[in-house]
Structure 1
Amino acid sequence: MRLLIAALWMALASAVQAGPEADRTLDLIRLEAQMQIAREEGLQHAQTLNDDLLDGQGGALWAAQVDAIYDVARMAEGARGPIEALDPETLSRLNLFLDSDLGQRITELELAARRAMMDEVSEEAAARAFAALEGTDDARLTTARAVIEAGDLIERNVSTALNASFQFYRALVDGGAYDMTEAQIIDEVWSQEETLRADTEGWLMGYLLLLMQPLDADERATYLAFMKTPEGGALNAALFDGFGRVYSDLSFALGQVLALNMKTQGDHGSEL
């Protein structure tokens, strides 16, 4: 295990040589595949909004509007900037790990775990697995918590979700679906924070346990070591920055078309 971690740190600390930069990084992290999953999550959410706020009457127009909002190519383009802004030295060192066999395996496991968590049965099974390990000294549980801490994943996810929620409500108000002041919107969004934080922690633990299940102890240790490097931290921050911008834009656009549909159905100007 120590040799694996030492090898990783030596690779990241090695002298920079000519090599792929931002485009290569974006390919290696499978940005478009990540956005495809985000699109599918968005379509699921839009269906819930249709059921709950449009009485299931959104129809073909709602489907077309939502389809246009969750455009994978545009979403990926919107998330590129913070990664492209990383300096070439950081990108070159990042790609040493991302392009390794383990780096690519982890990327595939991340995608597979996130897709699995879209399924209610799989998410519940992951939650049960977390509950069964809670309070134990299981190595997977320890590593999952360490990964969360290294990436500040709970705070970053909660912040992203709260910002997106604020944009969603702002669009509903701008579109005349609700009558709320900005202060009321902020109060409504912050009222969700405690529940959102608990849900986020549970989701992340289930997701990471699922992701790490096929990895052995040395591979988990290397994954954690990468997350703790300056390069891993820079990539994590850039991803949250890019995804945060995209999710805020998507949430505002979704709120706009939802407001339009609600007004069309005569359910406008009401209080939340």
Structure 2
Amino acid sequence: MLRALFLPVFLLFSAALAQAQGADPGSDLGPNQGPNQGPNQGSNQGSTQGPGQGTARTDTARIDAVYEALAMAEVVEIMRAEGIDYSRDLAAELFDGGGGAAWDALVDEIYAVPRLERIVRSTLARELEGAALAPMLDFFESELGRRVIRLENSARRALLDPDVDAESRAALAEMAEAGDPRLDLIETFVEVNGLVESNVVGAMNSNYAFYRGLSEGGAFGRSFTEQDMLADVWSQEEAIRADTVEWLYSYLAMAYRPLTDAELEAYIAFSRTPAGARLNQAVFAAFDEMFESVSLALGHAAARFIASREL
């Protein structure tokens, strides 16, 4: 259930850094404070354990079962590889000559798998507190559910290769030109799960967290205010949305190609259930929190690099 398909898009900061001259730290007001609420809003509610530790242990075991059924450890590992690739692009954009070995070491620490898994697992547990987990496990431990997970992860890993990504986008264009009816099913899947909006909001929140990290690290000038940060993030929405749509549809068309229409319809039917919707929301919240943490840390690291090179 690789529904949290956040694109790590924080590569549009050159113009802002051109204004950089030491800044006021950003507040916690991110782009998700506007009309499009991010999936992590209000997610801290219910995080305190109450009485009934036996029940808590049982719930923990069942959450672990959901985590395993979704192959979340593999998803995190793939996202780490994606993040490291994007961080190299980021360094090439921000630093003359790139970041070198020192930057690579920092990025490796920021994207450490145990750290990422702790964030994802704890947020997933919090978001699924009190949820009916049996229907989720029934689907994702079924033959179809296991196959879906394998296909999603295999396709996403393949897309780490830029050539495969380009081929996937070209194949999508051909499907659209031919009026392939499979795209109608994929569009339904995307709409039922709210994939475009959730990914756009998640990417913008991550970009804002990166700005906050730069600001808190002193990379911006005082003339670059909180409102400037927000305005710059919002200015990226159209580009993020366009790339999100293309990436999502090309990825899903590639991942689900081996599925029959009936199998994809069964997946969509599960997504429409209360359990499917609750799980989708929880997974988005988990990866939203992970990406915001990573982006903030990358901002702090980038600010230190900028400062060290100005000495």
Q: Compared with structure 1, are the counterparts of its residues 51 and 26 closer, same or farther at alpha carbon in structure 2 (3 Å cutoff)?
A: same
Task: Kindly indicate whether residue 185 of structure 2 is the aligned counterpart of residue 143 of structure 1.
Answer: yes
Say whether the 8 Å CA contact 2:136–2:275 is kept in structure 1. Answer: yes
Give structure 1 regions of 4+ aligned residues with deviation exceeding 4 angstroms. Answer: none
Task: Kindly indicate whether residue 108 of structure 2 is the aligned counterpart of residue 64 of structure 1.
Answer: no
Task: Kindly indicate whether residue 264 of structure 2 is the aligned counterpart of residue 209 of structure 1.
Answer: no
Equivalent residue, structure 1, for 2:18? none
Deviation at 1:221, TM superposition (A): 1.2
CA distance in 2, matches of 1:128, 1:57: 31
Q: Compared with structure 1, are the counterparts of its residues 57 and 216 closer, same or farther at alpha carbon in structure 2 (3 Å cutoff)?
A: closer
Say whether the 8 Å CA contact 1:226–1:232 is kept in structure 2. Answer: yes
Q: TM-score, normalised by structure 2?
A: 0.77
CA distance in 1, matches of 2:226, 2:158: 37
Equivalent residue, structure 2, for 1:225? 269
Say whether the 8 Å CA contact 1:167–1:252 is kept in structure 2. Answer: yes
Say whether the 8 Å CA contact 1:50–1:58 is kept in structure 2. Answer: yes
Specify the code of the residue in structure 2 equivalent to 1:94: M
Number of matched pairs: 250
Specify the code of the residue in structure 2 equivalent to 1:23: D
Matching of residues 82-121 of structure 1 within 5 Å: 82-85=123-126, 86-87=128-129, 90-121=132-163
CA distance in 1, matches of 2:98, 2:181: 49
Say whether the 8 Å CA contact 1:21–1:88 is kept in structure 2. Answer: no
Cα deviations across residues 118-161 of structure 1 (Å, max 9, x unaligned)? 22111111111211122655231011100100100000000000
Say whether the 8 Å CA contact 1:162–1:193 is kept in structure 2. Answer: yes
Task: Kindly indicate whether residue 163 of structure 2 is the aligned counterpart of residue 163 of structure 1.
Answer: no
Q: Relative contact order: is structure 1 or structure 2 higher (C-alpha 8 Å, sep ≥ 6)?
A: 2
CA distance in 1, matches of 2:166, 2:262: 28
CA distance in 2, matches of 1:218, 1:81: 34
Matching of residues 3-18 of structure 1 within 5 Å: none
Specify the code of the residue in structure 1 equivalent to 2:191: E
Q: Compared with structure 1, are the counterparts of its residues 99 and 88 closer, same or farther at alpha carbon in structure 2 (3 Å cutoff)?
A: farther
Identity across the alignment (%): 36
Q: TM-score, normalised by structure 1?
A: 0.87
Aligned with 1:51 (options 89, 92, 95): 92
CA distance in 2, matches of 1:56, 1:120: 22
Deviation at 1:194, TM superposition (A): 0.5
- Structure 1, 24-33 or 72-81: larger mean CA deviation: 72-81
CA distance in 1, matches of 2:169, 2:132: 36
Specify the code of the residue in structure 1 equivalent to 2:117: A
Specify the code of the residue in structure 2 equivalent to 1:33: E
Cα deviations across residues 56-90 of structure 1 (Å, max 9, x unaligned)? 34222211111100011111110123432325662
Measured on the aligned residues, the alpha-carbon RMSD in Å equals 1.8
Specify the code of the residue in structure 2 equivalent to 1:25: V
CA distance in 2, matches of 1:168, 1:89: 32
CA distance in 2, matches of 1:29, 1:55: 41
Specify the code of the residue in structure 2 equivalent to 1:165: N
Q: Compared with structure 1, are the counterparts of its residues 176 and 88 closer, same or farther at alpha carbon in structure 2 (3 Å cutoff)?
A: closer
Equivalent residue, structure 2, for 1:265? 309
CA distance in 2, matches of 1:82, 1:249: 12
Deviation at 1:111, TM superposition (A): 0.6
Equivalent residue, structure 1, for 2:52? none
CA distance in 2, matches of 1:59, 1:198: 32
Mark the runs of 5 or more structure 2 residues left unpaired by the alignment: 1-57
Say whether the 8 Å CA contact 2:209–2:292 is kept in structure 1. Answer: yes
CA distance in 2, matches of 1:62, 1:117: 24
- State the SS of the aligned residue for 2:132: helix
Q: Compared with structure 1, are the counterparts of its residues 89 and 78 closer, same or farther at alpha carbon in structure 2 (3 Å cutoff)?
A: closer
Say whether the 8 Å CA contact 1:36–1:72 is kept in structure 2. Answer: yes
Structure having the higher helix fraction is 1
CA distance in 2, matches of 1:81, 1:177: 32
Aligned with 1:27 (options 61, 64, 68): 68
Equivalent residue, structure 2, for 1:6? none
Aligned with 1:251 (options 292, 295, 300): 295
